Amino acid sequence: MSGKLRYMDSRPDEQERGITMKSSSISLYHVVDNDEYLVNLIDSPGHIDFSSEVSTAVRLCDGAIVVVDVIEGVCPQTRLALKQAYTENIRAVLVLNKIDRLILDLQLTPLDAYVHMTQVLEQVNAVMGELFATEVFENEETTINAQKQQEGSKDDNNFYDWTSALEDADDSNLYFSPEQGNVVFSSAIDGWGFTVQTFAKLFSEKLGVREDILQKVLWGNFYLNTKTKRFMKGAQEKAKKPLFVQVILDNLWNVYETVVMRNEKEKVPVICEKLGIKLTTRDLRHTDKRLQLQAIMMQWLPLSQTVLSMVCQKLPSPKEMVSEKVEKLMCSKIRDFQSYHPETQKLKDEFLACDGGADRPLIIFVSKMFSVDKSILPENKPKVLTAEEMAKRRERARQIREELKQSNGNVEPSTENQDEKITEKGVIDEKEQEEKTEHSFIAFARIYSGRVKCGDEVYILGPKHDPVKVLNAKDYKVDANVKLKDLQSEQHITCAEIKSLYLLMGRELEAIKEAVAGNIIGIGGLEEHILKTATISSTIACPAFSEMAYTSIPILRVAIEPTYPSQLPQLLKGLKLLNQSDSCVQVILQETGEHVLLTAGEVHLERCLEDLKNHYARIPITVSEPIVPFRETIVEPPKLDMTNEEIDNQNIDMNRKEQNPTVTVFTNNKQSKITIRARPLPNEITSLLERSSDLLKAISQHIKILQGLKNIDKIENQLDNMAISNPTNTSYHLSDRMLKLINDFKAELENISLKLGPEWKDICEKIWSVGPRNCGPNLLLNLTPDYVTKYLDHEKEIREDPRFQYESSFVNGFQLATLAGPLCEEPMMGVAFCVEEWTLDKTHGDETVSNTFGPLSGQIMSAVKDGCRKAFQLQPQRLMLAMYSCDIICDQKVLGRISLLGWGGEVSRQFRNSSQVRRSGFTLDNTLHKDIKHLHETLGARTQIRMGVCSGSGGQLPSPAPLLSYPRTPLYVSVE
């Protein structure tokens, strides 16, 4: 039923739209050469709005099946899927689908179709090669440094190794090659697929050639020399048909032309006889020629058998996991595996063994939580009665009939009893109906080690769980009654009982009693312990799995409120359920009391609103227009006017005083004075901060830990521990990998600052903090002459200073200012706030008056926030817009109509990024229309493209592009 029944798409909107929105798993049994396999297949979406579902699926897999449309070629979604698979260290196989369209729609010859398929295959391999080369070059410097430490310094100082790490890197299993058996050519709508190995088996006896030799020459520039009966190279040079065309494609084209295009039914039995298949009488008499073709092809080249056989032969099993992948799962990029406790490091062997023994430690990762109706759970479905149960029910029915006969004399009591029974039954039915309409959350998980059974007591480890802190703590105990909502800020462990286990079978769930390592399962009863992701283990020494890399972030926002205000509790409950069931949804409660829903795109938003109204909240809701996100920034003052003349050379009133760019603010009690100036950050530094967000967040968290020591130790001990390189500080010592990443970041930042000019010199020593959220693209620079801070420069010694205890308040004021700018309360981007003066004099002012304004720490925080906002407003302000890139493949004759599809807004006229180019590497006569548009302008346009407003166009849905600054000032008002 491949290509017809969308069994894995269980949602009604998935069936209507014809796209997958939720990842779903199914367990398949397959036999290859008398070897039995259990294949856990996860169907993940291809739509760009649901790429987070791909991330949750990739984390649990050992291999991936990448499906590429041979008509559209490599789309942005294809690049995204390949990148996710490569990042997670999983091997991929390729399926080239919709080959039937090359025959029926485009009507290409077999030779032209072969050339086109080779070009698509080259495009896919080019993406893989780009990913591979990028990783090799990034690791080359680390490898060279490690070799220098092992080999020592060389005597010849003039020696230089010009060889590249790319030459020594192993890429034998990287590319997709039909002769290796990792490429399937298919048509899912007609139910057939084949590999080169499939036809090598079919024709090896007829051609009298060994199967392994024929498999090597069926793909490529080989042809059969009829005189010598040998396979020769150079089919293209000698104008010969390649073997792939002569042996495979010619036969496929003949079947399609005979059955579908010419509809020669008298030749169908002859074709079946030659292919060695038998059709039923019904299929032979069928009037629908496409169904008759499908009956032939499904028997000759069954798609399911081909794909599953390739999966079993080419993709690794759970026991073949490599150590590099294990370390990526156990620790993040900024953490060294050797920094873990020895008990935690031993678990690496358990990952590699993948042993399902009962004595092995249990390790399970939950990638997401998904909701199902309680009515479809196996325990709530009506069960088939056995013979003994049916006999007992017959006996019970007979006894009830006898009781009714005996009670005929006393009518009134029996009537009252019946009324009571009816009333009780009605109440019970109402409760059962309410329970059936409720939702139950199932954990989508994979077992990496051990065996799990119903009733087992396990630890639920949150994403921020650190086994080093727990194992170093004395007498650490976990309260069995504590749930997720009861945890404190530093607690990340709860205890739970495995209530139910399920085998995921697409739309259905099959209850099981136990499961072993290597399987993908569903776990019920954990909704009070897991929000979105978690790690389940039998030991607290197990680390939390590294954070999944989501390629899409919530960017489209709407404000939601109930139509009837009295139904606000139902809305809050529905938003909570929606947030838990979707890994890419965020729910924000703003200061005004407005509830804002953040989604990844337009289609994702429609699905979330549909779920909220019909499943989770079950109330009518009012939704605002989509809110488009912005970023606030500043730019350098203009040097040219609108006529391209220098402003400095113009006749300007010299008596007018220039505006001072610095801002001086005081706390309310006048005890602290702060002078701040805002400067635009160069694009090179801004992009570096964005790339290093994980590292910057880790540095900020480490500094917070060190600053928190003041509540425990004296100031002298605290300042000693602030030296990160102090070897005696074992509890708060950064790993070697972390220090290496910090040094690399400093070196790259210094190189950039040298190119920018003297005003950015020594920027590494001046960095005080980054924001917002301690990892954003804005800097707080310390230019004060008498106060020393340390962020990247860890060798400095901090002297005792009364301002030190208020440093966290100062930084928090900067974080608040960059989180919500003065233009439209949106986060800032690319702004550097330079602190030129900070004085503190507690002797100034009356103590009674000072206490009136609250603690000094809060006053400093408010003063810094106001000072940053005022300094920002003194500079030329701009808004940065969220941009989307869209590629539309179409014929040249419809280019004019495509440009009118809702893309003509004011923002488009300012950017002018449209272009039309002929698709390189394709034999098809079409054009690629490239465009970069503001997010607001893409709303609705994708629907028009998909509905086929322009005939002959095939749209690739918009994908996120970098933010761009709007050329005009947002404060500009036109005068008419």
pLDDT at residue 161, as a whole number: 55
**What residues contact residue 963 under an 8 Å CB cut-off, 6+ apart?**
631, 829, 880, 881, 882, 883
Q: Per-residue confidence at 656, pLDDT binned at 50, 70, 90?
A: very low
| Least confident among 217-231, 295-309, 712-726 | 712-726
**What residues contact residue 731 under an 8 Å CB cut-off, 6+ apart?**
472
pLDDT at residue 870, as a whole number: 93
Nearest to 516 by CA among 24, 8, 27, 23: 27
Strongest mean pLDDT among 160-164, 319-323, 738-742? 319-323
Per-residue pLDDT of 275-292, as tens digits, reads 888 888 888 888 888 888
**What residues contact residue 342 under an 8 Å CB cut-off, 6+ apart?**
none
**How far is residue 409 from each of residues 401, 402, 403, measured CA to CA in Å?**
15, 13, 11
Per-residue pLDDT of 49-84, as tens digits, reads 788 888 888 888 999 999 999 988 888 788 888 888
Q: Per-residue confidence at 112, pLDDT binned at 50, 70, 90?
A: very high
- Radius of gyration from C-alpha coordinates of the chain: 34
DSSP 8-class letter at 752: H
Per-residue pLDDT of 144-194, as tens digits, reads 554 554 555 444 455 555 556 667 676 777 899 999 989 999 998 898 999
Go through 204-240 and write b for each residue having 16 or more CB atoms within 10 A of its CB, e for each that does not.
beebebeeeebbebbbbbbbbeeeeeebeeebeeeeb
Q: What is the mean pLDDT of residues 880-909?
A: 59
Residue predicted with more confidence, 836 or 143: 836
Question: Residue 601 has which token pair?
Answer: 């795109």
> Over 70: is that where the pLDDT of 967 sits?
no
**CA angle 751-755-758, nearest 5°?**
105
pLDDT at residue 148, as a whole number: 54
| Site of tokens 């998935």 | 14
| Least confident among 5-9, 232-236, 481-485, 627-631 | 5-9
Which element (helix H / strand E) includes 75?
none
Do residues 662 and 675 lie in contact, with contact meaning Cβ atoms separated by under 8 Å?
yes
Per-residue pLDDT of 261-271, as tens digits, reads 888 888 888 88
| Least confident among 521-535, 620-634, 707-721 | 707-721
> Over 70: is that where the pLDDT of 426 sits?
no
Distance from C-alpha of 794 to C-alpha of 726, rounded to nearest angstrom: 10
pLDDT at residue 443, as a whole number: 92
> Over 60: is that where the pLDDT of 376 sits?
yes
| Site of tokens 């805002």 | 678
> Over 80: is that where the pLDDT of 436 sits?
no
pLDDT at residue 744, as a whole number: 84
Q: How crowded is the C-beta side of 544, counted as CA atoms within 13 Å?
A: 21
Q: What is the mean pLDDT of residues 738-763?
A: 85
Q: Where in 297-375 does DSSP place strands (E)?
A: 363-373
pLDDT at residue 946, as a whole number: 55
Question: Residue 405 has which token pair?
Answer: 């006969």
Distance from C-alpha of 582 to C-alpha of 606, rounded to nearest angstrom: 13
Per-residue pLDDT of 614-653, as tens digits, reads 888 889 999 988 877 788 999 887 766 555 555 555 555 4
pLDDT at residue 445, as a whole number: 93
- Using DSSP's 3-state secondary structure scheme, residue 574 falls into helix
pLDDT at residue 818, as a whole number: 93
What rounded mean pLDDT belongs to the chain? 79
Q: What is the mean pLDDT of residues 466-485?
A: 83
> Over 60: is that where the pLDDT of 414 sits?
no
Question: Residue 291 has which token pair?
Answer: 């169904």
pLDDT at residue 761, as a whole number: 83
Nearest to 743 by CA among 297, 334, 196: 334
Q: What is the mean pLDDT of residues 339-365?
A: 90
Per-residue pLDDT of 682-703, as tens digits, reads 989 998 998 888 888 888 877 7
pLDDT at residue 731, as a whole number: 46
Q: Per-residue confidence at 4, pLDDT binned at 50, 70, 90?
A: low
**What residues contact residue 862 under an 8 Å CB cut-off, 6+ apart?**
667, 668, 813
Residue predicted with more confidence, 654 or 89: 89
Q: Per-residue confidence at 679, pLDDT binned at 50, 70, 90?
A: very high
Distance from C-alpha of 270 to C-alpha of 293, rounded to nearest angstrom: 14
- Rounded to two decimals, the pTM is 0.80
Cis peptide upstream of residue 772 (ω within 30 degrees of 0)? yes
pLDDT at residue 720, as a whole number: 44
Per-residue pLDDT of 722-738, as tens digits, reads 333 333 344 456 777 77
**What letter represents residue 233's amino acid?**
K
Question: Residue 874 has which token pair?
Answer: 């003194």
Angle between helices 289-300 and 268-275 (to 10 degrees): 10
pLDDT at residue 411, as a whole number: 46
pLDDT at residue 717, as a whole number: 46
Q: What percentage of residues in the chain have a pLDDT greater than 90?
A: 23
pLDDT at residue 915, as a whole number: 52
Domains assigned to the chain: 63-140+175-314 (3.90.1430.10), 323-376+438-537 (2.40.30.10), 556-627 (3.30.70.870), 663-713+737-793+804-841+855-880 (3.30.230.10), 884-952+964-975 (3.30.70)
Go through 5-28 and write b for each residue having 16 or more CB atoms within 10 A of its CB, e for each that does not.
ebebbebeebeebebbbbbbbbbe
Q: What is the mean pLDDT of residues 527-553?
A: 87
